[in-house]
Amino acid sequence: MRWSRTVISTLREDPQEAEIASHKLMLRAGLLKKLSGGLYTFTPLGVRALHKVEEIIREEMDAAGAQEILMPALQPIELWEKSGRASRMGASMFRLKDRQGRAMVLGPTHEEVVTDYICKEISSYRQLPCTIYQIQTKFRDEIRPRFGLMRAKEFIMKDAYSFDVSFEAADASYKAMYDAYERIFKRCGLLARPVEADTGAIGGNHSHEFMVPAPSGEDGILECQKCGYAANQERAERKPAPSKFAEEFSGGPEEVPTPGAHTVAEAAESVGVPEEQIVKSLIYMADGNPVMAIVEGTRELNECKLRRILGCSELVMADDVQSAEAAGPVGSIGPLGVRIPVYADIGLRGAKDMVVGANREGFHIKHVNVDSLSEITAWEDIVTVEPDDLCPRCGSPMRVVRGIEVGHVFKLGTKYTDAFNAKFLDSEKNSRVMVMGCYGIGVTRTLQAVVEQNFDKDGIIWPVSVAPYSVVVLPLDAEKDPACAAAAERIVKDLESAGIDVIVDDRDERPGVKFKDADLIGFPVRVVVGTRSLGKGGVEVRMRRTGESVTVPPESAAQRVSEMLSRMREDF
């Protein structure tokens, strides 16, 4: 490809709209153009890189036995009402009506459509297991799109779905996808690690996210360096440390005035104890019913965990009126004497001398033995795990790192196949419900994650596998020096006939401009053909990542480039 015939425009300066490195670089290198918030055009250069990611995904999906299909992005709302997700996905779905007035949505994901398709298609155990996938544009009305492709209103996703005869068989399908994901991200030049994750609105009982470590990542990951445990902060568990207040106070509970104390800090000060000795009591409305959650005063309740334990679809903090009806005035709430379910965090286990709200404005109760409260419905792990909390497996302190979620695999069980009555006949002629799994990769996000993990001060450093072009040839003196033009011509031809994708920068620009652009866009290999290099016996072949370069005769340049490329591929 000739540079002069493509639409490539690079920027000298960082665009004002971009915050993180990968977003700045993708705009500066001319891979993306913004149409509006969360909506981007892929330029000819950008779409080449995108297609390379897609091809890697296709190859690995096919190798794992999945079949590619393509489903409509535009979907009738009825499917979503059938699964019960019309309200659960709620505001994040783009909704519209056709001219007949039928309610439609732009698909944010495809569990409903695929289950509808498969339940009509499959009727026998002989047709199972079956895994299908598609690469398609998804639409989500994100509250706050940000960081370019990282969180966009419209993005490309690879979504796969497995259908099996049993939970055991579904585990095997899950494992096959999990393994394929590890290969996909590795081939993209990404360091991505699986972590245990919350299943959120997709549902199901077990999932792993594939996380790319990056300071700009939107998720927190708790990890144990000793045993390898890793989990999203939304889901991470911990082994609670023994309570510091394990000694029971012989005098029994005692109500104390705490005028004006509404926060944990104020209550602690008023009573004269550390904040950890306060029990934080929170009222939530779970599908409309009040529940109380109690945690140590310094901890934060984790709504994802509580929602999962309660098994409810909607969980919101109660307002002041609801709280007062369920227990007492906000700021003085406590578990003593309440008649609603109380969920206690396991961190309070063994805590026998604590301070709780008195359910009376301006009063707290001290010396409360939380460990033996009869009001407690269940002991659960319901707080957000913090750095230095102990690993639930081995008990070592954990740390938090930031990560970008590029993939997510779910064991769905029968959530959707039940809703759609997706049954098959087994060998005993029994009608049984299929067991499902679903598996997503954010393709456009993955592309940006590759950039986020591969750049230096001069620009992007593409892994060979996803570079828009593997090689850039820079003829520096082609106008004046026929030998230079001829050498460049020959190298490009040789590379093309070797099946290597190459772009030649034939613009009438000074050398400095060509060097800067080549570095910024980040082609893995650069071949410089100039009068000076020819004088030294050839052309300069240089690797973007290491800066390592050699001068070789033009006739062996293609061979040398080819060797370098395979070496770089192996390095990943």
Partner RNA sequence: CGGAGCGUAGCGCAGUCUGGUAGCGCAUCUGCUUUGGGAGCAGAGUGUCGUGGGUUCGAAUCCCGCCGCUCCGACCA
Nearer to RNA, 426 or 489 (CB): 489
Question: What radius of gyration do the chain's Cα atoms show?
Answer: 29
Q: Interface mask (CB under 7 A) for RNA, residues 126-165, using x and -?
A: ------------x-x-xxxxxx-------x-x-x------
3-state secondary structure of 263: coil
CA distance 334 to 359: 6
3-state secondary structure of 366: strand
Q: Interface mask (CB under 7 A) for RNA, residues 220-259, using x and -?
A: ----------------------------------------
Which position among 51, 58, 82, 88 is part of the footprint of RNA (CB under 7 A)?
88
Site for RNA in 284-303 (CB under 7 A): 303
Write out the DSSP string of 307-358. Answer: HHHHT-S-EEE--HHHHHHHTS-TTS--STT--S-EEEEGGGTT--SEEEE-
**Where does this chain touch RNA (CB under 7 A) — which range of 288-296, 363-371, 473-481, 554-562?**
473-481
Give the containing element (helix H, strand E) for 531. helix 531-535
Q: What are phi and psi of 475, to 5 degrees?
A: -80, 120
Which position among 4, 6, 15, 553 is part of the footprint of RNA (CB under 7 A)?
15
206 binds RNA (CB under 7 A): no
383, 300 in Cβ contact below 8 A?
Answer: yes
For the CB of residue 224, give the shortest distance to RNA in the complex, in Å. 23
**Where does this chain touch RNA (CB under 7 A) — which range of 16-24, 122-130, 257-265, 465-473?**
16-24
State the DSSP code for 16.
Answer: T
3-state secondary structure of 261: coil
125 binds RNA (CB under 7 A): no
CA distance 7 to 30: 9
Residue whose C-alpha is closest to residue 493's, from 463, 527, 468 = 527
Residue whose C-alpha is closest to residue 474's, from 537, 519, 409, 421 = 519
36 binds RNA (CB under 7 A): yes
10 binds RNA (CB under 7 A): yes
530 binds RNA (CB under 7 A): yes
274 binds RNA (CB under 7 A): no
For the CB of residue 201, give the shortest distance to RNA in the complex, in Å. 3
Question: What is the 3 state secondary structure string of 434-462?
Answer: CEEEEEEEEHHHHHHHHHHHCEECCEECC
Residue whose C-alpha is closest to residue 207's, from 433, 401, 437 = 437
44 binds RNA (CB under 7 A): no
For the CB of residue 484, give the shortest distance to RNA in the complex, in Å. 9
450 binds RNA (CB under 7 A): no
92 binds RNA (CB under 7 A): yes
**Where does this chain touch RNA (CB under 7 A) — which range of 238-246, 249-257, 421-429, 528-536?**
528-536
Nearer to RNA, 148 or 357 (CB): 148
**Where does this chain touch RNA (CB under 7 A) — which range of 265-273, 366-374, 395-403, 510-518?**
510-518
544, 519 in Cβ contact below 8 A?
Answer: yes
For the CB of residue 427, give the shortest distance to RNA in the complex, in Å. 34
513 binds RNA (CB under 7 A): yes
Nearer to RNA, 166 or 313 (CB): 313
CA distance 39 to 17: 13
Sign of CA dihedral 80, 84, 85, 90: positive
Binding site for RNA (CB under 7 A): 10-17, 19, 28, 34, 36-38, 88-89, 92, 108-109, 138, 140, 142-147, 155, 157, 159, 199-202, 303, 408, 440, 442, 458, 476-477, 479, 510-513, 515-517, 519-520, 528-533, 540, 542
